[in-house]
């Protein structure tokens, strides 16, 4: 159904679509595509919609698979008109700017105690499917149940901004499910994300047929590896790889001639959470992220 | 004007930070420092966003004057003509490549990526100054009257900003947006006017005179050397948050303004129309909710429902 519309000059109105499965309590809302180029989240929710069409869920499941349709249309992260970051406009305002009105509509469409923001990595970084949740609370257990390769428990201030921050400020249990890279459909990642979301809905009591359980790394200890210099980064690992201390993660080379400038080595064992895929990097940019400790 | 190409090397030009680039070259953030007798330390910052050449022009004209009075300066004046040079060379708002808004990164991180390092270096360099003034440009979609913005909690900054030859002084009560320069420097004076990515007739001159007058009021440069008489300095319309009214469209279409920036309006006056661009049907007459002055006017005509088109300053002088 069309939950909200915004008149658009020269073309048809912007529409915020919400798919609803089931009825009654409990209620959960899953949102994707706040950034227009985060297509893996959109596809994961569409895969989840296929599951929900076959299985009548207990309670109500709302899906908003693509909030920033205009950005998606152009492959852009931001709301294209005025180049605004929709995720920085939450909680929004019903009489505010266009992005504030869209943000307000997303907040009104987000019913239920549990809300999930399904994101994709940036266009230059490929991330393994993972969950980001606060250090404690119901979100952690739900994140653990999702069984994605990594559950990254982070201090609560990491969740103060954006849609998740607005949900939390409104008293909701909120978490981020994230993977792939912006601007590109990674079918395998999207399927893993969708399976994780099914497990999460099983844990939340909405679905009864579980996906096969999967064990992931649960950690608060994530190490960012950055190149000291700028250059051309060639990775030696892929998202999801297990690495050991001392293993080469990648090398920095001269953009012209390819001469070796720097080698990045893992300081500890872990699972590769994110890898830079656009190779030209500036000094001190993130190139590899490793989830270190396991439980 | 340059006296002769290549010979007007600015005095005391040093490097705040140098950022190496992947292609092997580097980009530097420079500082021009004027040092005189012992006195206040004033910092003038421009170009935090790359689409604000007006601020850089103001610091150019201010720097020219400071060169002419260099032996009579009391204190230290630091000019940062362009903090975001990589974006400025593209005319882009954000730090390119990373697409990061530098004005959301303060106080920065010394061990972070390039914009974080620049932010951290700038904060470290200016934190102890007696006064920091940031020259800003408007959003490229708008034209703004020259005005000052200060935190309402900083009466000294407001007192000084009132001497900056601006048409309006906005004492902002709302908390600053996290990551902005004013969020880490609460006594900062923000001066802005004109339009993003453009130079506007008169605005650079007004703000340049305002900065010089501010320096004279603080005793950093001699009043007798100002290139204008002090009586020529404008006294601003002083407004609080409650007296600044954002007028938004109710419909989407083309916004056609019927007045100019800083025009005086009465309550109910038509500020512009929103038309349906193909049929030409007038969808909405946008009216002034209060009497006041037009502080900002939208120049990019395509609008959605809820777009800001006019900002009115409503208080009496």
> pLDDT tens, B49-61?
999 999 999 999 9
Q: What is the mean pLDDT of residues B153-172?
A: 98
Q: What is the mean pLDDT of residues B15-39?
A: 92
pLDDT above 70 covers a percentage of chain B that reads 96
* Contact between chains at B305 and A229 (C-beta distance less than 8 A): no
B308 Cβ under 8 Å from any chain A Cβ: yes
Task: Give B166-218 pLDDT, tens digit per residue.
Answer: 999 999 999 999 999 999 999 999 999 999 888 988 999 999 999 999 999 99
Q: Is the dihedral of CA A278, A279, A283, A284 positive or negative?
A: positive
Name the nearest CA neighbour of B192 among B182, B179, B183. B182
CATH code linked to domain B243-313 = 2.40.50.100
Higher local confidence (pLDDT), B227 or B98? B227
Q: Where are the domains of chain B?
A: 13-235, 243-313
Collapsing DSSP states into helix, strand and coil, what is residue B21?
Answer: coil
B8: confidence class by pLDDT, cuts 50, 70, 90: low
Q: Which residues of chain B have a CB within 8 Å of the CB of A255?
A: 22-24
Q: What is A172-221 written as a DSSP string?
A: -EEEEEEEE-TTS--HHHHHHHHHHHHHHHHHTTS--SPPPP---EEES-
Q: b/e string for B229-247 if b means 16 or more Cβ within 10 A?
A: eeeebbebbbbeeebbbeb
| Of B7-11, B53-57, B265-269, the least confident | B7-11
| CA A183/CA A75 separation, integer angstroms | 6
Contacts with A, B 146-205, CB within 8 Å: none
Per-residue DSSP letter, B136 = E
| CA A90/CA A104 separation, integer angstroms | 7
* Contact (CB, 8 A) for B242 and B313: no
Chain B closest-CA separation from residue A41 CA (Å): 22
Task: Give B88-106 pLDDT, tens digit per residue.
Answer: 998 899 998 888 999 999 9
Per-residue DSSP letter, B16 = E
Question: What interface predicted TM-score (ipTM) does this complex get?
Answer: 0.75
Q: Strand B142-151 to strand B292-298: parallel, antiparallel, or no bridges (unpaired)? A: antiparallel
Per-residue DSSP letter, A266 = -
Domains and CATH numbers, chain A: 2-217 (3.40.630.10), 221-291 (2.40.50.100)
User: What are the counts of helices (DSSP H) followed by strands (DSSP E) for chain A?
Assistant: 6, 18
Does residue B6 register a pLDDT over 70? no
* Contact between chains at B252 and A8 (C-beta distance less than 8 A): yes
A11 Cβ under 8 Å from any chain B Cβ: no
A134 Cβ under 8 Å from any chain B Cβ: no
Each of the 295 residues of chain A gets a pLDDT tens digit; together they read 899 999 988 888 999 999 999 999 999 999 999 999 999 999 999 999 999 999 889 999 999 999 999 999 989 999 998 889 999 999 999 999 999 999 999 999 999 999 999 999 999 999 999 999 999 999 999 999 999 999 999 998 889 899 999 999 999 999 999 999 999 999 999 999 999 999 999 999 999 876 676 767 888 899 999 999 889 999 999 999 999 999 999 999 988 888 999 999 999 999 999 999 999 999 899 999 999 865 4
B7: confidence class by pLDDT, cuts 50, 70, 90: very low
B281 Cβ under 8 Å from any chain A Cβ: no
* Per-residue pLDDT, B5: 46
* Contact between chains at A100 and B248 (C-beta distance less than 8 A): no
* Per-residue pLDDT, B1: 47
Chain A closest-CA separation from residue B117 CA (Å): 9
- For the B13-235 domain, the top CATH level (class) is alpha beta
| Chain A: residue whose CA lies nearest to B113 | A284
A280 Cβ under 8 Å from any chain B Cβ: yes
The dihedrals phi and psi of B156, each to the nearest 5 degrees, come to -65, -40
Q: Strand A260-265 to strand A242-243: parallel, antiparallel, or no bridges (unpaired)? A: unpaired
Name the nearest CA neighbour of A107 among A170, A28, A160. A170
* Per-residue pLDDT, B11: 63
| CA B310/CA B271 separation, integer angstroms | 8
Distances (CA, A) of A201 to A30, A63, A195, B108: 10, 12, 10, 39
């Amino acid at each position: 159904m069309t939950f909200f519309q915004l008149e658009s000059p020269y073309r048809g109105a912007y529409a915020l679509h919400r798919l609803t499965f089931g009825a009654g309590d409990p209620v959960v809302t899953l949102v994707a595509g706040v950034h227009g180029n985060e297509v893996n989240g959109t596809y994961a929710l569409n895969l989840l919609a296929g599951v929900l069409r076959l299985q009548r869920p207990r309670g109500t499941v709302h899906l908003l698979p693509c909030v920033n349709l205009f950005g998606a249309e152009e492959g852009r992260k931001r709301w294209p008109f005025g180049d605004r970051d929709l995720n920085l406009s939450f909680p929004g305002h019903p009489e505010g700017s266009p992005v504030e009105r869209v943000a307000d509509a997303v907040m009104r469409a987000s019913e239920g105690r549990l809300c999930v923001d399904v994101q994709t990595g940036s266009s230059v970084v490929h991330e393994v499917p993972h969950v980001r949740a606060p250090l404690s609370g119901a979100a952690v257990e739900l994140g653990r149940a999702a069984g994605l390769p990594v559950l990254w428990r982070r201090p609560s201030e990491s969740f103060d901004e954006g849609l998740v921050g607005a949900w939390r400020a409104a008293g909701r249990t909120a978490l981020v499910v994230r993977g792939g890279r912006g601007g590109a459909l990674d079918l395998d990642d999207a399927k893993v994300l969708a399976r994780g979301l099914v497990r999460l809905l099983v844990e939340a009591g909405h679905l009864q047929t579980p996906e096969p359980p999967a064990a992931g790394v649960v950690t608060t200890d994530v190490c960012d590896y950055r190149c000291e210099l700028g250059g051309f980064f060639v990775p030696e690992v892929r998202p999801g790889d297990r690495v050991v201390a001392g293993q080469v993660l990648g090398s920095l080379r001269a953009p012209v001639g390819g001469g070796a400038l720097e080698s990045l080595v893992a300081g500890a064992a872990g699972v590769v959470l994110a890898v830079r895929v656009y190779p030209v990097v500036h000094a001190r940019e993130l190139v590899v992220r490793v989830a270190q400790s396991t439980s | 004007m340059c006296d002769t190409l290549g010979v007007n090397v600015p005095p005391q030009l040093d490097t705040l930070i140098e950022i190496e680039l992947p292609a092997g070259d580097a980009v530097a953030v420079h500082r021009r420092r004027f040092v005189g007798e012992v006195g206040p330390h004033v910092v003038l910052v421009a170009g935090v966003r790359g689409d604000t050449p007006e601020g850089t022009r103001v610091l150019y004209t201010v720097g020219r004057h400071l060169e002419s009075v260099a032996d009579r300066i009391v204190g230290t004046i630091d000019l940062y003509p362009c903090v975001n040079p990589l974006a400025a060379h593209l005319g882009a708002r954000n730090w390119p490549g990373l697409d990061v808004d530098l004005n959301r990164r303060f106080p920065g991180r010394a061990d972070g990526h390039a914009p974080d390092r620049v932010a951290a270096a700038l904060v470290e360099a200016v934190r102890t100054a007696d006064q920091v003034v940031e020259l800003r440009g408007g959003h490229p979609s708008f034209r703004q009257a020259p005005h000052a913005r200060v935190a309402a909690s900083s009466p000294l900054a407001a007192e000084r900003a009132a001497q900056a030859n601006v048409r309006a002084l906005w004492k902002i009560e709302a908390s600053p947006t996290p990551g902005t320069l004013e969020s880490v420097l609460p006594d900062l004076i923000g001066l802005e006017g004109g339009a993003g990515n453009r130079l506007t007739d008169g605005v650079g001159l007004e703000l340049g005179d305002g900065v010089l007058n501010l320096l004279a009021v603080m005793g950093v440069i001699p009043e007798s050397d100002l290139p204008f008489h002090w009586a020529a300095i404008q006294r601003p319309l002083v407004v609080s948050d409650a007296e600044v009214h954002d007028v938004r469209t109710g419909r989407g279409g083309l916004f056609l303004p019927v007045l100019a920036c800083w025009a005086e309006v009465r309550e109910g006056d038509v500020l512009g129309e929103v038309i349906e661009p193909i049929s030409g049907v007038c969808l909405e007459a946008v009216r002034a909710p209060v009497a006041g002055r037009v502080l900002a006017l939208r120049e990019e005509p395509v609008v959605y429902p809820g777009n800001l088109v006019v900002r009115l300053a409503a208080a009496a002088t």
